[in-house]
Amino acid sequence: MVEEVLAHSDYIDKYTRELVMSERLERGLQTLRAQMDTKVKSFFSSCVHCGICAEACLFYTETNDPRYTPIYKTEPMRKVWQEEYTFWGKFGKKLGLTKSLTEADLANWEELVYDGCSMCSRCSMVCPVGIDIAYIIRKVKEALAASEYSPEGLVAATKRAVEIGSPMGVKLVALQAQIKHVEADTGLSIPMDVEGADYLALLSSMEIINFPEYIEALARIFKHAGVSWTLCSEAFEATNSGLQIGNSVVAAELVERVVAGAYKLKVKYVISPECGHAFSAIRWDGPNFIGRAYDFKVIHILELLEELRNSGRLKTSGKETERLTFHDPCQIVRRGGVEAQPRQLLKSVAENFVEMTDHGRMNWCCGGGGGVSANERAEGLRLKAFNRKKSQLDELNVDTIVTACANCRLVMEEGLEENEMDIPIVGLTEVIAEHLVED
Amino acid sequence: MIAGFIDGPLWYFSLTVFCIGVLWKLASIIFGKRKNDLSVARASGIPGAIKTVFSRFKADKGMVPHIRVQIVAGYMFHLGLFAVLFFAAPHILFIEENLFNLDKIGINWLAMPHWAFIVASEFAFLGLLMLWLHRLMNPVSRLISTADDHIAAILTFVVMLTGCMALLEGFSELRLLHRFCVELFLIYFPFSRLIHAFTFIPSRAFTGAWFGRRGISS
């Protein structure tokens, strides 16, 4: 009798497990179908599987594992396209010859997509038939997130972002504490919730906790240039975990918070911090997430600094003499279009600025973008991928690295530490602040 | 009877499938569902789209040392095939007389000399074989290749081979064999990877426009 009950409960367990699994697969399939737009169809129709994209991906070049080939990471979506949108796919399905997308596929691709892709888009720049591979990978992420195949670290960060307001769990009190320190150090006051200010500055959690010198630099530069600005106690966080994990609903919710803050304070501009994906999320993807255009403009801090410099409001003196280079954050430069400004700003305060072999829109990623740095499981792979940046730095032999993204900075600091390379990394906004002409 | 079928109904059928298939595919891509981008553009996407359609003919300088085989073999194959397809004397004669009656409206162009035909054919053959060997031997392209990629390569090779055989004009069966292979090729074309010969244009344009409106040269 007992054996019969146990056997029956085993059957129920197995049945329930299969039911849950098929439900997860169905959610993934529905998400992929919903995102099958004409661009994706055009891209898959054009792909000749030449494999050139592999050579543009640091996760492939540093591991030589063909599974990290960018177009291979889009395989779940290609399978759905093949089976449901092509003649041979439909024909093969009727004959039972087509290999359908399975639950195991989703499970296997989770690691490839979340750990082995920083969404840097370098692959999209080299495809001979013009496929924006990162565009498709972003859609695969959406399906993986919908079917609950996402890494724990990123899920937890997203949960914190929704519940607390920051992926790192940074609350307003933590920001206020940092502001107090900055105010004590500089003698300047940091404006908070000032209605009618021209600019609303956003920050990333990493800047608040790891690099508060960015806040100090903002205060000094804006005081110097006479910029009317404020922070918002209800919308200070710029990072968007929804974008990183591939959940458009969460991404929209986080963008709405910034929009509400901007409307409440009636600002004309929202300033994206140096953080790369935050810029992408608020400047380019934000209106698409919430389904409407903003009533304010979004500007990256480096764009604003260059505008202030060109209009004569930002005056610098003296130049750094040491040999330094600039690491291009992918989301700011390659996918954000802020390429010339950091170079012009840097040249205005540095006399020995050298470029890496591949720079600007063809830079190599630090390895930690797209949520990879928030994914503890990916640490080993990320450090391996950092060897590409290491090679670039070895060629140059610089004294200092300048960048414009808190995430890149932290990831590179870890990479340098791991490789026992003693090169300081600084943020470009801070470098500019160091050279302000004293009033 | 078979000759009549290959030269007649099958030819018109394959040509119709090819033309309608390609037009249908392009129309479904150009007029298909895609969302409007609501972010404020830095620049119009159109110049970016046009630029990228042409710029991707040239590989990025930093990438070249890593993809020499694909570049060299790719250009050898595509240029060789293009030259043979449109400038080989038998093809010009066929197009002028049978396809669009171009000779009657005064449109014609010069055939390349025989030696150039030989060079172009060798380039096309060598390029295709190199690409196919690369597909089979390189771990990356081996992993990502599908049956369609191999069928398309084999079919193209057979069309080219029978085309060379058809040069022996004394054997009309060889000309028929070539024409039959071309007809199979035309029928397979719109439903296969071969369609990239047309869809690469909207693909590049989409990506170029996306980057272009962000002020990025792609």
DSSP string, A194-221: -TT-SEEE-B-HHHHHT-THHHHHHHHH
Cβ contact, residue pair B56, A54, below 8 Å: no
Selected residue of A36, A38, A41, A42 to mutate for chain B interface (largest B Cβ count, 10 A): A42
Query: Which residues of A are less than 8 Å from B24 in CB distance?
Result: none
Tell me what pLDDT residue B108 has: 73
How much is the mean pLDDT over chain A?
95
Of A51, A131, A339, Cβ closest to residue B207: A131
Of A42, A48, A50, Cβ closest to residue B206: A42
Once rounded to an integer, what is the mean pLDDT over residues A47-65?
A: 98
Of B33, B63, B145, Cβ closest to residue A49: B145
Are A167 and A374 a contacting pair, CB within 8 Å? Answer: yes
Tell me what pLDDT residue B210 has: 97
Share above pLDDT 90 across residues of chain A, in percent, rounded to a whole number: 94
The 3-state secondary structure of chain B reads: CHHHHHHCHHHHHHHHHHHHHHHHHHHHHHCCCCCCCCCCCCCCHHHHHHHHHHHCCCCCCCCHHHCHHHHHHHHHHHHHHHHHHHHCHHHHHHHHHHHCCHHHHCCCCCCCCHHHHHHHHHHHHHHHHHHHHHHHHCHHHHHHCCHHHHHHHHHHHHHHHHHHHCCCCCCHHHHHHHHHHHHHHHHHHHHCHHHHHHHHHHHHHHHHHHHHHCCCCC
B62 touches chain A (CB under 8 A): yes
Confidence of residue B149 (pLDDT cuts 50, 70, 90): very high
Cβ contact, residue pair B140, A135, below 8 Å: no
Strands (E), A265-409: 269-272, 297-300, 324-327, 353-354, 400-403
Once rounded to an integer, what is the mean pLDDT over residues A283-311?
A: 98
**Chain A residue with Cα closest to B213:** A337
- How many distinct helices (H) and strands (E) make up chain A? 22, 8
Share above pLDDT 90 across residues of chain B, in percent, rounded to a whole number: 83
Tell me what pLDDT residue A10 has: 65
The answer to whether the pTM exceeds 0.90 is yes
Tell me what pLDDT residue B23 has: 98
Tell me what pLDDT residue A103 has: 93
**Chain A residue with Cα closest to B196:** A46
Cβ contact, residue pair B207, A285, below 8 Å: no
Query: Which residues of A are less than 8 Å from B55 in CB distance?
Result: none
Give yes or no for residue A311 having a pLDDT over 90.
yes
What part of B 70-129 touches A (C-beta under 8 Å)?
70, 74
- State the complex-level ipTM: 0.94
Between B108 and B65, the higher pLDDT residue? B65
pLDDT digits (tens, 9 = 90+) for A366-388: 999 999 999 999 999 999 999 99
What part of A 43-72 touches B (C-beta under 8 Å)?
43, 45-52, 54-56, 60, 66-67, 69, 71-72
Give yes or no for residue B105 having a pLDDT over 90.
no
pLDDT digits (tens, 9 = 90+) for A313-352: 999 999 999 999 999 999 999 999 999 999 999 999 999 9
The dihedral of CA A201, A202, A207, A209: what is its sign? positive
CATH 3.30.590.10 corresponds to the domain B2-18+61-213: no
Tell me what pLDDT residue A306 has: 98
Tell me what pLDDT residue A98 has: 84
Once rounded to an integer, what is the mean pLDDT over residues A212-228?
A: 97
Cβ contact, residue pair B196, A47, below 8 Å: yes
Query: Which residues of A are less than 8 Å from B59 in CB distance?
Result: 52, 126, 128
Cβ contact, residue pair A126, B63, below 8 Å: yes
User: Please, what are the domains in chain A?
Assistant: 2-149 (1.10.1060), 164-310 (1.20.1050), 324-434 (3.40.50)
pLDDT digits (tens, 9 = 90+) for A134-152: 999 999 999 999 999 999 9
Tell me what pLDDT residue A17 has: 58
B205 touches chain A (CB under 8 A): yes
Cβ contact, residue pair B204, A129, below 8 Å: yes
Between B188 and A98, the higher pLDDT residue? B188
Tell me what pLDDT residue A1 has: 56
Cβ contact, residue pair B191, A42, below 8 Å: no
Tell me what pLDDT residue A133 has: 98
Confidence of residue A99 (pLDDT cuts 50, 70, 90): confident
pLDDT digits (tens, 9 = 90+) for B152-172: 999 999 999 999 999 876 778
Cβ contact, residue pair B42, A48, below 8 Å: no
Q: Whose CA is closest to A325, among A395, A272, A388?
A: A395
Cβ contact, residue pair B135, A49, below 8 Å: yes
B151/chain A closest Cα distance in angstroms: 12
Give yes or no for residue A237 having a pLDDT over 80.
yes
- Terminus-to-terminus CA distance in chain A, angstroms? 90
B63 touches chain A (CB under 8 A): yes
Tell me what pLDDT residue B16 has: 97
pLDDT digits (tens, 9 = 90+) for B17-41: 999 999 999 999 999 988 899 999 9
Tell me what pLDDT residue A56 has: 98
Distance CA A390, CA B142 (A): 30
Once rounded to an integer, what is the mean pLDDT over residues B58-81?
A: 97
Once rounded to an integer, what is the mean pLDDT over residues A348-360?
A: 96
**Chain B residue with Cα closest to A122:** B218
Tell me what pLDDT residue A318 has: 95
What part of A 309-338 touches B (C-beta under 8 Å)?
334-337
A39 touches chain B (CB under 8 A): yes
Tell me what pLDDT residue B34 has: 85
Cβ contact, residue pair A50, B53, below 8 Å: no
Tell me what pLDDT residue A84 has: 95
B51 touches chain A (CB under 8 A): no
Between B24 and B94, the higher pLDDT residue? B24
